[in-house]
Structure 1
């Protein structure tokens, strides 16, 4: 399965976390789209208003399966090697999910004030369609 991570490409925290995820995954499971790329978001029927609620994770094999905000962060964690153990433990702690959701909302709503805003939008080296492009390049050589 492959997933698309939609992130705020102007947020310093968001970009740093995407870069960490890129270094772990190396484009094997996740592809990335900044929320500022409205053309690609339109392909998934995602509006700028949708993005105001936080990062979005889409299952490319079944695009109707989407997670947003802290749920997306948890699902990404669950999909990483050994991540399921930590996410399961987190979800099992009484009140942790509720507190995590509130914490995410505070960070989301104040991210530029707390972490700053980039002067240019970050575009991942693993964008949507990257694997198809790489496969086409290999088959043409």
Structure 2
């Protein structure tokens, strides 16, 4: 089964709430997580803090060069969930909705702490991705 790595802002209340929801739905079956604050692991993946400023990142752990970011990452996560592809396809097919979704995502991304608050501590997921970069793999369970 494909494993995916979700890179999220572990200090953002909205981001961590959505990751917690995804954890409950998926229970580590498809998704593993790395917070944007884990610079050591991100560096091993070739991801910079500047990359993270553009929004969440989804990485196909089996093909690490296959990546999505921002709304593309959100759409791909949605598509991978049970019955999600139906909703993502409908969202993409309605004229103007994708454009509006992209703009809304950018506004929330750029103002997330103001809108939803900032956590005092970085969220630690129970489904953390183990980079395993030394062995060439990513996303394998510890």
Tell me if TM exceeds 0.5: yes
Q: Give deviations 1:21-40, integer Å, cap 9, x for gaps.
A: 00000000000000000001
| Off by >6 Å, runs of 4+ in structure 1 | none
Higher helix share: 1
Inter-partner Cα distance in structure 1 for 2:41 and 2:10: 14
Inter-partner Cα distance in structure 1 for 2:129 and 2:107: 29
Partner residue, 2:107 = 106
> TM-score normalised to the size of structure 2?
0.91
Q: Give deviations 1:52-93, integer Å, cap 9, x for gaps.
A: 000000001111110000110000000000000000000000
Partner residue, 1:137 = none
> TM-score normalised to the size of structure 1?
0.92
Partner residue, 1:58 = 59
SS at match of 2:126: coil
Superposed, 1:6-45 pairs within 5 Å as: 6-45=7-46
Inter-partner Cα distance in structure 1 for 2:119 and 2:89: 34
Partner residue, 1:132 = 141
Matched, 1:47 2:28: no
SS at match of 2:141: helix
Inter-partner Cα distance in structure 1 for 2:124 and 2:6: 12
Partner residue, 1:97 = 98
Q: How big is the shift at 1:123?
A: 1.1
Inter-partner Cα distance in structure 2 for 1:92 and 1:80: 19
Inter-partner Cα distance in structure 2 for 1:78 and 1:43: 27
Asked if the contact 2:128–2:141 (Cα under 8 Å) also holds between the matched residues in 1, the reply is no
Aligned residues: 133
What's the C-alpha RMSD, in Å, of the aligned pairs?
Answer: 0.9
Q: How big is the shift at 1:131?
A: 4.8
SS at match of 1:57: strand
